[in-house]
Amino acid sequence: EDQVTQSPEALRLQEGESSSLNCSYTVSGLRGLFWYRQDPGKGPEFLFTLYSAGEEKEKERLKATLTKKESFLHITAPKPEDSATYLCAVQASQGNLIFGKGTKLSVKP
């Protein structure tokens, strides 16, 4: 069964304190791993797609990496505006996405 597990459930950081979010997955034949950002009361916003182990993508203070079993979202020198819930998802064989439960990130000034 395809499955996505994210950790930690919640993360509190001070502004400037770098850290990483984890997404571990089990899927038969990975076709893509996706990261989304979700602000309260809003729909998830697409960040990255990773397709193969070793691949990395960056956007501002965020960098996503992928191995054969997990993905990391590295946040470098975060700012309060980076506070959000970050969702990880994998592409299932039918073509739909299976989401993890998310990591709620809070960055304090």
* Residues binding other proteins (CB under 8 A): 31-32, 34, 36, 41-46, 49, 51, 87, 89, 91, 94-102
Q: Indicate the residue among 21 and 87 with the shorter CB distance to other proteins.
A: 87
- Cβ 47 to other proteins, closest distance in Å? 8
Cα-atom radius of gyration of the chain, to the nearest Å? Answer: 13
For residue 15, give the amino acid letter: E
Q: Indicate the residue among 31 and 79 with the shorter CB distance to other proteins.
A: 31
- Cβ 91 to other proteins, closest distance in Å? 7
Nearest to 35 by CA among 68, 75, 2: 75
Sheet containing strand 56-59, strands side by side: 3-7, 19-26, 70-75, 62-66, 56-59
- Cβ 49 to other proteins, closest distance in Å? 6
Q: Indicate the residue among 63 and 92 with the shorter CB distance to other proteins.
A: 92
Burial class, 66, CB count within 10 angstroms (exposed 0-12 / middle 13-18 / buried 19+): buried
For residue 25, give the amino acid letter: Y
- Cβ 17 to other proteins, closest distance in Å? 26
Q: Indicate the residue among 14 and 96 with the shorter CB distance to other proteins.
A: 96
